[in-house]
Chains A and B, each alone.
Chain A
Amino acid sequence: EAQVTQNPRYLITVTGKKLTVTCSQNMNHEYMSWYRQDPGLGLRQIYYSMNVEVTDKGDVPEGYKVSRKEKRNFPLILESPSPNQTSLYFCASSFLYDRADGTEAFFGQGTRLTVV
């Protein structure tokens, strides 16, 4: 089954304690990205990657890191989480180039993060 898998689904942590949210896709997609979603602000892209070892900042990258060592995995790292990073996070993947089967994004199940 084609899917994007995120873990954990729920996480409560304390300010300053480093954490990693994992994301893995099995569709051989080149493009992967991380979004956060907050009420009234919609989906905002944090980081994206067009291929292995190629990452770049999205619209709200401050306080986050990513890596893309393998095509299927794109973890999101919060080195020193703060309460303003409390949010719903989504990983998404898609094909990079225009294709007959589309360029739409496939989303993971989401990670509800609370930083206290």
Chain B
Amino acid sequence: QKEVEQNSGPLSVPEGAIASLNCTYSDRVSQSFFWYRQYSGKSPELIMSIYSNGDKEDGRFTAQLNKASQYVSLLIRDSQPSDSATYLCAVYNAGNNRKLIWGLGTSLAVNP
């Protein structure tokens, strides 16, 4: 089992719809969870971080964390073509050599 798993996609949604991206992780003591967006050939950029159970909203983005189920998700409301990118889930555990563990990413395509 991979440490951080994401559906590779592609996930295709129409413009204006809600895109839902999911991530599961195996290390129960993970402490911090991040969603990065990466356009093709560009560097990952942080869009959301979440540290405690529940929802965290920032503009059109909502991150949801459920530590009991070892599950973190990202919702993108009112999806725009500019949201088309690969979304990377990263999980941090201070005891794991302070290393971020990365999922392989989910490719999202927002169709006009």
Contact = CB atoms under 8 A, between A and B. Distances in A.
A98 B102 contact: no
Given A43-B88, A107-B43, A107-B44, A102 B102 contact: no
Contacts of B43: 90, 107-110
A102 B97 contact: no
A43 B100 CA distance: 10
Given A98-B94, A103-B32, A104-B49, A42 B102 contact: yes
B101 to A, nearest CB: 9
A63 B99 CA distance: 21
Chain B interface size, as a band, is 20 to 34
A96 B105 CA distance: 24
B46 A104 contact: yes
Contacts of A31: 98
Contact of A110 (B42, B46, B94, B102): B42
Contact of B98 (A50, A102, A106): A50
28 contacts: A31-B98, A33-B99, A40-B104, A42-B102, A42-B103, A42-B104, A42-B105, A43-B88, A43-B102, A48-B97, A58-B99, A94-B100, A96-B98, A98-B31, A102-B32, A102-B49, A104-B34, A104-B46, A104-B49, A104-B92, A105-B34, A105-B44, A105-B90, A105-B100, A107-B43, A107-B44, A109-B42, A110-B43
Interface of A: 31, 33, 40-43, 45, 48, 50, 56, 58, 88, 90, 94, 96-98, 102-110, 112
